[in-house]
């Protein structure tokens, strides 16, 4: 099932995040399928907590970033999305390398969307699962 109403390339998505927290954290949109979007993020001095592990809040920021972009691409040209609720279960620590977040829709409604985001380490092990609710707004 194809869900995209806006057809941004990965390069265009990355350009949108160039001058904000997305770029500061090193988040890069990396792959897209018919009904999912992926982004990667390094685990380094920008994204770890004092003990040297991937910061849980930064994992949540990655989850919200990838699902919000996916949600934005699923609404009409005169619409955008805003996050209204997010949760995250941190399952495995990550000390180095990078992580990849894949967002896929649970529900795409007329006024709200719900997205599942799975974050995996470089060994393809699930380290965080998150769920984001987005509200659809008119410009």
Catalytic amino acids?
Answer: 64
Q: Write out the two tokens for 118.
A: 């799975």
- How many of the other CB atoms lie within 10 Å of CB of 88? 20
Q: Is 25 left (phi over 0), alpha (psi -120 to 50) or beta?
A: alpha
Rounded to whole angstroms, the Cα distance separating 117 from 119 reads 6
Longest dimension (CA), the chain: 44
């Amino acid at each position: 099932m194809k869900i995209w109403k806006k057809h941004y390339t990965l390069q265009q998505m990355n350009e949108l995040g160039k001058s904000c927290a997305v770029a500061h954290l090193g988040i890069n949109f990396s792959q897209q399928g018919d009904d999912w979007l992926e982004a990667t993020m390094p685990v380094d001095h920008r994204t770890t907590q004092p003990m040297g592990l991937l910061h849980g809040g930064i994992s949540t920021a990655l989850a919200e970033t990838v699902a919000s972009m996916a949600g934005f691409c699923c609404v009409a040209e005169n619409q955008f999305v805003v996050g209204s609720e997010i949760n995250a279960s941190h399952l495995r620590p990550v000390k180095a390398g990078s992580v990849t977040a894949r967002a896929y829709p649970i529900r795409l409604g007329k006024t709200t969307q719900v997205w599942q985001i799975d974050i995996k380490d470089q060994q393809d092990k699930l380290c965080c699962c998150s769920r984001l609710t987005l509200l659809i707004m008119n410009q």
